[in-house]
């Protein structure tokens, strides 16, 4: 796996952003956004979803539950670096919103960390 495909973490203030890539991609898809957020002092974590970043065959045994678990692990990691966690608008591609948003808020497409 190339370095661009790896997850990334940029420390910042107590405001956190979790970046979840799309179905056919890797954390590299959102790295530029992560770097821009970090440049503005946001704590930023870009995760790698289960089954991604290797070979297409690695997706065969993966279910939506594995992607939700990946998002939850990312949320748990981000919570270790931000002071508070609450509902805020979540923006992303349809598959990334489906992975993370409902899991955390009970409402489609909403969650974010903040101080």
* Structural domain spans, the chain: 30-114
- Residue 26: its pLDDT value, please? 85
Q: What percent of the chain has pLDDT over 90?
A: 29
In the prediction, which pLDDT does 1 show?
Answer: 64
Tell me the pTM.
0.74
DSSP state at residue 41: T
- What is the rounded average pLDDT of the residues 51-60? 86
Query: Mind spelling out the 3-state secondary structure of 38-74?
Result: HHCCCEEEEECCCCCCCCHHHHCCCCHHHHHHHHHHH
What pLDDT is attached to residue 112? 46
- Output the pLDDT for position 23: 79
What is the rounded average pLDDT of the residues 89-99?
50
- The pLDDT of residue 92 is 53
Query: Which residue shows structure tokens 């990691």?
Result: 77
């Amino acid at each position: 796996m190339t370095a661009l495909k790896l997850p990334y973490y940029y420390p910042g203030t107590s405001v956190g952003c979790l970046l979840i890539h799309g179905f056919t991609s890797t954390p590299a898809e959102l790295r530029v956004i992560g770097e821009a957020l970090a440049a503005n002092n946001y704590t930023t974590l870009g995760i790698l979803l289960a089954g991604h970043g290797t070979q297409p065959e690695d997706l065969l045994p993966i279910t939506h539950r594995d992607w939700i678990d990946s998002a939850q692990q990312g949320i748990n990691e981000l919570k270790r670096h931000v002071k508070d966690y609450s509902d805020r608008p979540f923006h992303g591609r349809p598959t990334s919103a489906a992975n993370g948003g409902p899991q955390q808020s009970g409402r489609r497409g909403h969650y974010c960390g903040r101080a």
